[in-house]
Amino acid sequence: MSFEAFGQPLLTFPDAEKSPLSIRAKALVFVDPRSRQLRLELEQLAPRSISVLIRGETGSGKELLARHIHRASDRGGLFVSVNCGAISPTYADAELFGYAAGSYSGSASSRAGWFGSANGGTLYLDEIGDLPLPIQIKLLAALENHEVTRVGAQQPSPVDVRLVAATSIDLAQAVAAGKFHERLYHYLSEGQLELPALRDRVGDILSLSEYFLGIYSQRLDLPVPLISEAAQLVLERHSWPGNTRELENVIHFALLVSTGDEILPEHLNLPEVPVSLVQIEQQIAQVSKNGTADERSALKDLLESFSRML
């Protein structure tokens, strides 16, 4: 599946319709200069066999990068995604590494666990800092030795798994606090990617908005409205504390409450930048092309004055 937004291509996953993931986890945008730089770094890391640690705020799309790394690598196995915060503390060992038949009451057959399921492929551990320390130690051993021992098994099983992990916290601080295994942190640090927050990659906002609008319009069998210029300004100036997740919800809401053929600022249910400030910014854009250096400086000073008043 492919989609065009504001003339820019979006990467989408061919099995998107089968995926249990939300809509936002099916498209990847590299329009903003910071995103394009991230893509270059990602494509350099993808063919290598080293583990990768993705750092970024909640809702910013870290799993998207992990899936793209897997697709851009030469690994033919599965991409297995695990939310570490959802792993049972009691059965974390069995969930991650599997168990042999008879290990638990009623377990007549063995299970490979998440690690074994990703054999030949990529294991994605979201919020890896939530893993209990004893499991972190076993995870490091499995990665270094390329083998796992299932719960109740007598012999280890060989595995070939590439780990891509993600975190929304500073793991170095967790290491200093004794809450994260230092050697595992250094192992993960061989390959690092920093995913900027949506507010720091403004060039991606409109492309993502068009994507969400198109997908939800198709799902709800509604005409696809345009995003008015005024609404575009509001979208680009919002701080997006909820990142892509928040943007998806805002566009979904706007589609449902709009009545015409355009999405207007009032449909977004977002705080607007004062009109006077928007007008000044538009003037700056115009003067930057035709005005003198003194005119540009004066307008910038005026904009800073307005910003301090807000």
| Domain-located, residue 185 | yes
Does 61 lie in the same domain as 182?
Answer: yes
**pTM of the full structure:** 0.77
**DSSP secondary structure letters along 44-111:** HHTTS-S-EEEE--TTS-HHHHHHHHHHHSS--S-EEEEEGGGS-TTTHHHHHH-B-TTSSTT--S-B
Work out the angle at residue 37's Cα, subtended by the Cα atoms of residues 36 and 38, and round it to the nearest 5 degrees. Answer: 90
Q: Let me know whether 67 and 174 are in one domain.
A: yes
Residue 284 and residue 185 share a domain: no
* 24 lies in some domain: no
Q: Which two tokens stand for residue 105?
A: 């009451």
Domain tally, the chain: 2
> Residue 55: its pLDDT value, please?
96
Q: Does 174 fall in a domain?
A: yes
The Cα angle at residue 239 between residues 226 and 2, in degrees rounded to 5: 45
Whether 100 is in a domain gets the answer yes
Long-range contacts, stretch 6-15, CB < 8 angstroms, 24+ apart: 6/31, 6/206, 6/207, 6/210, 8/207, 10/207, 10/211, 11/68, 13/67, 13/71
**Is residue 178 domain-shared with residue 303, that is, in the same domain?**
no
Q: Indicate the residue among 144, 174, 198 that finishes a domain.
A: 198
Q: Indicate whether 279 and 169 sit together in one domain.
A: no
Give the whole-angstrom CA distance, residue 44 versus residue 38: 10
Last residue of a domain, one of 164, 198, 232: 198
pLDDT at 284: 61
Among the candidates 198, 224, 256, a domain finishes at 198
- Computed on alpha carbons and rounded to an integer, the radius of gyration of the chain in Å comes to 23
Domain assignment present for residue 26? The answer is no
- In which domain, by residue range, is 288 found? 275-309
Place of tokens 């919800």: 249
Is 19 within a domain? no
- Look up the CATH number of the domain holding residue 176: 3.40.50.300
Using alpha carbons, select from 298, 301, 274 the residue that is nearest to residue 287: 298
Q: Residue 11: beta bridge partners?
A: 28
Q: Are residues 188 and 58 located together in one domain of the fold?
A: yes
Contact 148, 97 (CB under 8 A): yes
85 falls within a domain: yes
- pLDDT, residue 279, reads 52
Same domain, 175 and 50: yes
Select from 42, 43, 46, 45 the least CA-distant residue to 73.
46
Query: How much is the pLDDT for 107?
Result: 55
Average pLDDT per block of 10 residues along the chain, 310 residues long? 39 42 61 92 93 94 92 92 89 87 59 89 96 93 91 86 96 96 94 94 93 91 94 94 93 94 94 56 59 64 59
Say if residue 188 is in the same domain as residue 294.
no
User: 96 and 63 in contact (C-beta within 8 Å)?
Assistant: no
pLDDT score for 13:
41
- Give the residue among 284, 288, 217 at the shortest CA–CA distance from 254: 217
Q: Specify if 217 maps to a domain.
A: no
